[in-house]
Structure 1
Amino acid sequence: MSAKTFYALTLIVHEDQSAESIVLTIDKFVTESLHASFGKTQLSSRVWDYELEIDNYPKALGLIKTQCLNQPYDLILQPSLTRRDKQLFIFDMDSTLIYQEVIELIAAYAGIEDKVAEITTRAMNGEIDFNESLRERVSLLRGIDSTTIWKELEEKIEITNGVRPLSKALKKLGCVLGVCSGGFIPLAEHIKNELGLDYAYANTLGVDEKNILNGETIGDIVNGERKAELLLEIAQKHGIDPRNAVAIGDGANDLKMMSVAGFGIAWNAKPKVQLQAPACLNTKSLLDVLYILGYSDVDIKDLLE
C-alpha cells in the first residue's frame, strides 16, 4: 500500500459565480470521489484550501480534471508542504502575459490576415509542426519596415488582467521571472521592461541593411523544446531546483516546460493543454496564481503594499 502524502486542493470559484453551492459540491467530491477526510481554510470570498491525504496522485488528478470539465470553478492539487517554495516563474507571452497573439497583430498590420490564418489552421490540424508554421508565417513578413512596426505594435499590446500585481508580488517574494515566447524578441523585451521581469526569450527576425524584414529567423527557434531548455538553464544559473519552478502558458508548446518544472499552470488554455497540464486556471485574473501558492487576500494585500 502506498504511503499517503499531504496535499493542498485549492478551489477557485470563477468570478460572478455563487460560491456556496459549489463549495458543498466539492466537499462531497473530496469525501466520496477522492475518499479523503479534509480540513478547509478560506483564502478569499471565492477561494478555499482543502488539506487532505492522498496515496495515488495520478488517479486523484484524473478525477479532479473530470470534475472540473466545463465547470465555473478550478481545482488545483499539489503537495501542501512545498507550494510556497517556488523560486522561478516562466511565462508564455501570447494569450498569457498579453491578451493577443502577436503574429495576428503583425498580420493585421501587414494586411495578410487570411494567409496567416491558413497556416495557423494547418498547424492546429497537425499538418505542419511549430517550426515549419513559424517559418511560413515569417516568410510572409518579408518587406516590412522593422523600424516602425514594433513601436506601433507596442501601443496595441494589452497586458492581461492581474499580471502587473502578480509580477510585483512575486518579485517581492524574491522570485526570478522570465518570459519565453514563440513570438518575437522586440515585443518580449518590451513586456520584460514593462513588468520588471528578469529574462525575455523569443524569436529574432532577420533584417537587411535597411532594417527591412527579410522573411527569415535568426538563431534557435523558441519552440516547446527550447522553452523547456531555457527554463532549466535559468534555474541552473540561479541555483534553483527545477522542482521549485513554475511554468505558465496556454498552448501545446508550453507543455514541455511544464513537464520539466516542478509545477505547471495552463492559463485559459486549449482543451488539449488543460487535459495534460498539472493545473488549470480559467479565471479573469492571473493574480489568482497567488491563491494557488496558498496566499490569502490578507497576504496578497501585504505583498502589494
Structure 2
Amino acid sequence: MSAKTLYVLTLIVHDDQSPEGVVSTVETFITGSLHATFGKAQLSPRAWDFELELEGYEEALKLVKEHCLHQPYDLILQPSLTRRDKQLFIFDMDSTLIYQEVIELIAAYAGIEDKVAEITTRAMNGEIDFNESLKERVGLLRGIDSTRIWKELEEKIEITNGVRPLSKALKKLGCVLGVCSGGFIPLANHIKNELGLDYAYANTLGVDENNILNGETIGDIVNGERKAELLLEIAKKHGIDPQNAVAIGDGANDLRMMSVAGFGIAWNAKPKVQLQAPACLNTKSLLDVLYILGYSDVDIKDLLQ
C-alpha cells in the first residue's frame, strides 16, 4: 500500500450563497467519496479548511472537480505542507485583474466589438489557436486612431474586486508579482503601476506614422507558451522554485503557465479551463485567494494593516 500524504481541502462558499448546510455536505463528500477522515478549521463565515490524508491526489482531484460542478461553492485540494510556500504570483490581465477584454474596448471605437468578442470567446474556450485569433482580431482594428486611446481606456477599465488588497497582502508576504497578458502593453504597464506589481508583459500594436493602428502586432506574441516561459524566467531571476509559483487566469491560454507553476487557479473561468486547471475560484473577490493559502479573516486583516 502506498504512503498517504497530508492534504488540505479548502471550502469557499460563493458570495451570494448561504453557508448553512454546506459544511455537512462537504463532510459527507470527504468521508463517502474520498474515503478520508479529516480535521476541520474555520477561516471565515464562508471558508473552511479540511485536513485529510490521501493516497492518490490525481484521482481525488478528479472527484473534487466532478463534485463541484454546478455547486454554490468551490473546493480547492492541495498539499497541506506547502500551501504557504508561494513566492511568485503571475496573473492574466483581461477578465482576471480587470473585468474587461481590452481588445473589445478598442474595437468599440470602430463599432466592431461584436465581431472581436466572438473571436475572443472562441480563443478563451480553446476552440481556435490564440495566435491566429489575435491576428484576426488585431486585423479588424486596422485604421483606428490610437493617439488618445490608451489614456481613455485607463479611465474605462475596472480593476477586479479584491485585486488591490490581494496585491498589497502578497507584497507584504514578500511575494514577487507579475502580469502576463495576451492583451496590450500600455494597459498592462498601467495595471502594473496601479497595483505595485514587479513585472508586466503583453503584446504591442503596430502603428503608422500618424499613430493609426496598422492591423499588426510588433515582436513576440504573448500567447500561452510565452506566458509559461515568462513565469519560468521570472522565477529563475529571483531564485524561486517554480513549484512555489502560482498562475491565475481565466482562459485556455493560461493553462500552460498553470502547468509549469506549482499551482494554478482558474478565476471565474471558461468551463473547459475549469476542468483542466488545478483549482477553480468562482467567487466575486480575488482576495479569496488568501483563503486558498490558509489565511483566516483575522490573518487577512493583519496583512492589510
TM-score range, shorter-chain basis? over 0.9
Residue 58 of structure 2 aligns to which amino acid in structure 1?
P
The residue that corresponds to 1:49 in the other structure is 49
Q: Give the deviation of 1:129 after TM superposition.
A: 1.3
The match for 1:264 is 264
* TM-aligned CA distance change 1:225 to 1:15, over 3 Å: same
Structure 1 residue 54 displacement after superposition: 0.5
Alignment-derived partner of residue 14 in structure 1: 14
> How far does the alpha carbon of each residue in 1:103-140 deviate from its partner, in whole angstroms, 9 at most, with x for none?
11111122222432453466468674111111111112
Contact kept, 8 Å, 2:139 with 2:215, in 1: the verdict is yes
Amino acid at match of 1:281: L
Spell out, residue by residue over 1:32-52, the C-alpha distance to the aligned partner (whole angstroms, 9 max, x if none): 111111100000001100011
The residue type equivalent to 1:190 in the other structure is H
Matched AA of 2:129? D
* 3-state secondary structure, aligned to 1:257: helix
SS at match of 2:58: helix
Task: Tell me which amino acid in the other structure corresponds to 1:268.
Answer: N
Other structure's SS at 2:21 match: helix
Please say which of residues 9-18 and 157-166 is displaced more in the overlay.
9-18
Query: Corresponding residue for 1:129?
Result: 129
Render the CA deviation track for 1:215-248: whole Å, top value 9, x for unaligned. Answer: 1111110100000000000000000000000000
Aligned to 2:161: 161
Match of 1:73 in 2: 73
- The AA in structure 2 aligned to 1:116 is V
Which sits farther off after the overlay, 37-46 or 130-139?
130-139
Distance of 1:238 and 1:180 partners within structure 2: 17
Q: Give the drift of 1:144.
A: 2.0
Encode CA deviations 1:149-192: one digit per residue, 9 max, x unaligned. 11111111000000000000000000000000100001111111
**Aligned partners of 1:301, 1:99: CA distance in 2, in Å?**
25
1:29-108 matches, cutoff 5 A: 29-108=29-108
Change (3 A) 1:263 1:122: closer
Inter-partner Cα distance in structure 1 for 2:84 and 2:222: 29
Contact 2:126 2:253 in 1 (8 A): no
Per the alignment, residue 214 of structure 2 pairs with 214
1:185 counterpart residue number: 185
- In structure 1, C-alpha distance between the alignment counterparts of 2:131 and 2:273, rounded to whole Å: 19
Query: Residues 220 and 44 (structure 1 numbering): CA distance in 2 closer, same or farther, change over 3 Å?
Result: same
Q: Offset at 1:202?
A: 0.4
Number of residues of Structure 1 aligned to a counterpart in Structure 2: 305
Look up the SS of the partner of 1:86 in the other structure: coil
- Check the 8 A contact 2:125/2:252 in 1, yes or no: no
Q: Partners in 1 of 2:117 and 2:81 — Cα distance?
A: 45
Question: Which AA in structure 1 matches 2:168?
Answer: K
Distance 1:141 1:186 in 2: 16
Moved more, 122-131 or 273-282: 122-131
Instruction: For 1:3 and 1:125, locate their aligned partners in 2 and report how far apart those are by CA, in whole Å.
Output: 38
Describe the shift of the 1:25–1:118 C-alpha distance in structure 2 as closer, same or farther (beyond 3 A): closer
Secondary structure, in 3 states, of the residue corresponding to 1:190?
Answer: helix
Alpha carbons of 1:212 and 1:240: their partners in 2 closer, same or farther (altered >3 Å)? Answer: same
Q: Does 1:171 align with 2:177?
A: no
2:204 is matched with: 204
Letter in 1 for 2:204: T
CA apart distance, 1:18: 1.9
Question: Which residue identity is paired with 2:289?
Answer: V
Q: Distance in 2 between matches of 1:225 and 1:216?
A: 20
Aligned-residue CA RMSD in angstroms? Answer: 1.3
Distance in 2 separating the partners of 1:127 and 1:175? 34
Aligned to 1:194: 194
Shift of 1:210: 2.4
TM normalised by structure 1 equals 0.97
Identify unmatched segments of 5+ residues in structure 1.
Answer: none
Flag structure 2 segments of 5+ consecutive residues without an equivalent: none
Whether the aligned pair in 1 keeps the contact of 2:161 and 2:284 (CA below 8 Å) is yes
Name the SS for the 2:211 alignment partner. Answer: coil
Name the CA shift for 1:123/1:255 in 2 (closer, same or farther; >3 Å).
closer
> Given residue 187 of structure 1, which amino acid in structure 2 is its aligned partner?
L
Identify the residue that residue 255 of structure 1 maps to in structure 2.
255
Change (3 A) 1:296 1:118: closer
Whole-Å separation in 1 of the counterparts to 2:95 and 2:69: 21
